[in-house]
Structure 1
Amino acid sequence: MSYFTTIDLPTFFDLRGGLTVLDDALPFEIKRIYWIYGADGHLRGGHRHVKTRQALIAVAGMVSMYINDGRCSGIVELNDPSKCLLVEPKDWHTMTFGPGSVLLVLSSEPYDRADYIDEKYD
């Protein structure tokens, strides 16, 4: 079990495939949505935030998340589009992308460069 919070999103399957629902699943209002793709084998992220909370979903492929909140650190593998990882403002994070991965990011705040903290924890 991971120290970091993951949410099992409601998912429904039938012969036509799967459908995952995000209705009222997050502990914050979504103010920004973006996705990262074409980053096969690359490391992204490398920051934490002042106030932004994020929810991350690997909608395709696998993304390996390294997270450090200043007390605990760990790796969370995202490889299931029905699983959502919450990244809190204090969480230093990097992402390593597997082949063909697409990472959906839902954010509590609009983009603001002043919200980024680029220093790692000691």
Structure 2
Amino acid sequence: MARLIDLKTFTDTRGNLTVIEKVIPFDIKRIFYIYGVDDSRRGGHRHRKTLQAAICIQGACTIYNHDGSAEQVFRLDRPDKCLILEPADWHTMYEFTPDAILMVLASEFFDQADYIFEPYPAVS
């Protein structure tokens, strides 16, 4: 099941410094970021193996998640919030602000065979 973690942030008169160290529960093999998104939904899949950590480093976006038994909605609106997505987490990203930059850290290199696009049935 997806979960939020707080990233350690140091703040003083010069600004903020957020550190990603010893909090991501996997070795990072790939980093990508999504930006310049219109009103489209992104994602719409889950994975066979890949774990992900999503951080909206600028602006905000919403992530819907369904792990097969429960649905969750997360609003990423601060660069010190990180959403951990398990392989079973079918997710979509939407409601991007015009300035949003969503950075994703992944446990695996890109492999099309790792993607499962069919959503789970709705939770009743």
Q: Please, what TM-score do these two structures have when normalized by structure 2?
A: 0.93
Q: Which runs of no fewer than 5 residues in structure 2 stay unpaired?
A: none
> Which residue number in structure 2 is paired with residue 117 of structure 1?
116
| 2:2/2:89 contact within 8 Å kept | no
> Which residue number in structure 1 is paired with residue 64 of structure 2?
66
> Following TM superposition, by how much is the alpha carbon of 1:40 offset from its aligned partner in structure 2, in angstroms?
3.4
- Residue 52 of structure 2 aligns with an amino acid whose one-letter code is Q
1:11 and 2:9 aligned: yes
> Which residue number in structure 2 is paired with residue 103 of structure 1?
102
Alignment of 1:42-81 (within 5 A): 42-81=40-79
2-structure distance, mates of 1:108, 1:119? 21
The one of 25, 32, 37 aligned to 2:23: 25
Q: CA RMSD in A?
A: 1.0
1-structure distance, mates of 2:58, 2:13? 20
Secondary structure of 2:113 counterpart: helix
> Following TM superposition, by how much is the alpha carbon of 1:92 offset from its aligned partner in structure 2, in angstroms?
0.5
Q: What percentage of aligned pairs have identical amino acids? A: 52
Q: Please, what TM-score do these two structures have when normalized by structure 1?
A: 0.95
> Following TM superposition, by how much is the alpha carbon of 1:74 offset from its aligned partner in structure 2, in angstroms?
1.5
- Residue 87 of structure 2 aligns with an amino acid whose one-letter code is P
1-structure distance, mates of 2:101, 2:61? 8
| 1:34/1:104 contact within 8 Å kept | yes
- Residue 100 of structure 1 aligns with an amino acid whose one-letter code is D
Matched length: 120
Q: Structure 1: which 4+ aligned runs deviate by more than 3 Å?
A: none
> Following TM superposition, by how much is the alpha carbon of 1:17 offset from its aligned partner in structure 2, in angstroms?
0.7
| 1:57/1:85 contact within 8 Å kept | yes
> Following TM superposition, by how much is the alpha carbon of 1:23 offset from its aligned partner in structure 2, in angstroms?
1.1
> Following TM superposition, by how much is the alpha carbon of 1:77 offset from its aligned partner in structure 2, in angstroms?
0.3
2-structure distance, mates of 1:86, 1:25? 10
2-structure distance, mates of 1:72, 1:90? 11
